[in-house]
Amino acid sequence: MGIVSTILGFCGFGVGISIGLFIGYYLFIYFQPTDVKDPIVRPLVEQDSKTLQRLLPEIPQWVKNPDYDRVDWLNKFIENMWPYLDKAICKTAKNIAKPIIAEQIPKYKIDSVEFEALTLGSLPPTFQGMKVYATDEKELIMELSMKWAGNPNITVAVKAFGLRATVQVVDLQVFAAPRITLKPLVPSFPCFANIFVSLMEKPHVDFGLKLLGADVMAIPGLYRLVQELIKDQVANMYLWPKTLEVPIMDPAKAMKKPVGILSVKVVRAMKLKKKDIMGASDPYVKMKLSEDKLPSKKTTVKHKNLNPEWNEEFNMVVKDPESQALEVIVYDWEQVGKHDKMGMNVIPLKELTPDEPKVLTLDLLKNMDPNDVQNEKSRGQIVLEALYKPFKDTEIPKDLEDPNAIEKAPEGTPAGGGLLVIIVHEAQEVEGKHHTNPYVRLLFRGEERKTKYVKKNRDPRWEEEFQFMLEEPPTNDRIHVEVVSTSSRMGLLHPKETLGYVDINLSDVVSNKRINEKYHLIDSKNGKIQIELQWRTST
């Protein structure tokens, strides 16, 4: 009887499941709910405050903040470049990670850590807007709003105690607000010497972590712990004012200024070798200074002449007479095809006595390798007259002081405090409805200061300085800057009019000691104001 009951039980289970599925499918198909309505789509102006607050984080910065510019062009550029950027970034990440891993794994008795796969996927990051700070310094400051929900494939193999485990990162999301500063700006390509990167707020980092095929982040409490740990570690390293510095070039070398003029007269050449089939040559001379990006200086071509005379003069700007040299190359001109090099030589500028002309007769060599036996062959000679004329003290400005240096606070300044200096430089494109006679009103900790007013001027310049002696750094303070127009007549109608204002946080000036920026004025169509802030301490 037990066997019969078991068989009937299984049959009943199978029949019940079949009937249940059939009835469920019938009810799903033929009894659709009738109370489902299409969602109501309403303009933003009709939404309530709670709905708008929920939508606010999803609205791009260029929509809700007038200081941010729309950067669709940048997103399109990154989208097209992403396959190549992916490979370049991953290669750089591997090169950076290898020495760090090699240094850390002995501490934890791990045999090896290797990347099995490293790709950022096919989805590039998108930028929701970019803010550019206009300063009078040799720098360019950009703040970007970045969101990246990618599909990377990052798999790391770890070997320890004879066991091997693979860890895979999936579903990576990074929301960050980096500040990128290019400084100093220099006149040599790529036009900046260093890149400084910092984060203006803690980044949002979200990802899944698979270990041996299982989702580790599903463990209760681990997800939030790991996410907060990463946020804190990244913030400790790169949260403003801390920065990641990426050197691009030597700023001292790029910023070298001219120190003199080299005058060169190409006189003649003698006993040049025949290069043409007809038994002659068509020589000309090219000259340039080493470490100089400017095009070479060229003489005229002397056709069918092995002892040409030019008597042509050239001037070149010298930036470093101790390291630069004059490179002289004689070519045979060809009407078709590449010009043949007939010989060359080099004159180090340090061998020239300043302000004394010197006549030089140089042997033409194949190259500047002293061990090359081919340089023993005679290729002719060239005669030059060279004169190096250094600039006098009155001819070139000397930057004896760093323009960014900050004065120390005067004696009597509180030990834990300092002197807050506010310099109101100028404003641009300010205009009132009834009159435009602007002056600036500063309000800080209940104290008011004013500049003089400028009569009938949309682009006024004040260049006035105000000082506040403080017992402690104004890290959490703001200063209210307001441009006001006052009527030049003694009229009761429209005596004063606000042309725009801005509230400036002072935390940056405490960290940087000096800020010189142009700010967009609120409640002004195109108005801007340039304010310089300094925080001077006694140390």
Q: What is the pLDDT of residues 264-290, one digit of tens each?
A: 999 999 888 877 666 678 889 999 888
Mean pLDDT of the chain: 79
Q: What is the average pLDDT across 248-257? A: 66
Better-predicted residue by pLDDT, 482 or 247 = 482
| Inside any domain, residue 9 | no
Q: Give the model's pLDDT for residue 444.
A: 93
Q: Are residues 482 and 438 in the same domain?
A: yes
Instruction: Examine residue 43 and state whether it is found in any structural domain, yes or no.
Output: no
Element (H, E) at 492: none
Is the pTM value of this prediction over 0.75?
A: no
Determine the pLDDT at residue 401.
Answer: 41
Residue 10, pLDDT > 50, answer: no
Q: Which residue has the tokens 């009407």?
A: 335
Averaged pLDDT, 300-323: 87
Q: Give the distance from CA 425 to its chain's centroid.
A: 27
Confidence of residue 383 (pLDDT cuts 50, 70, 90): very high
Residue 499: per-residue pLDDT: 93
Q: What's residue 172's pLDDT?
A: 80
- Answer whether residue 54 is part of any domain: no
Residue 304 and residue 270 share a domain? yes
* Whether the predicted pLDDT of 167 surpasses 50: yes
Asked if residue 303 and residue 381 are part of one domain, the reply reads yes
Same domain, 182 and 105: yes
396 vs 45, higher pLDDT: 45
Same domain? 460 vs 517: yes
User: Which range scores top for mean pLDDT: 146-160, 299-313, 480-494?
Assistant: 299-313
DSSP 8-state secondary structure symbol assigned to residue 271: S
Pick from 303, 83, 121: which is nearest to 207 by CA? 121
146/174 same-domain check: yes
Q: Which structural domain, as residue segments, surrounds residue 266?
A: 256-390
Spatial neighbors of 479 by CB under 8 A, at least 6 apart, are 422, 442, 443, 444, 503, 504, 506
| 233: amino acid identity, one letter | Q
Residue carrying structure tokens 């998108």 = 126
- CATH number for the domain including 473? 2.60.40.150
Q: What is the mean pLDDT of residues 210-225?
A: 65
182 and 140 belong to one structural domain: yes
Mean pLDDT of 382-396: 79
Whether 436 and 533 map to the same domain: the answer is: yes
From 237, 243, 240, 143, select the one nearest 194 (Cα to Cα). Answer: 243
By residue count, the chain amounts to 539
CB 385, CB 357: distance < 8 Å: yes
For residues 93 and 165, membership in a common domain is answered with yes
pLDDT band at 57 (very low <50, low <70, confident <90, very high): low
pLDDT > 90? residue 206 = no
Q: Are residues 168 and 262 in the same domain?
A: no
Do 82 and 228 lie in one domain? The reply is yes
Number of domains in the chain: 3
491 pLDDT higher than 80: no
Start-to-end Cα distance in the chain: 99
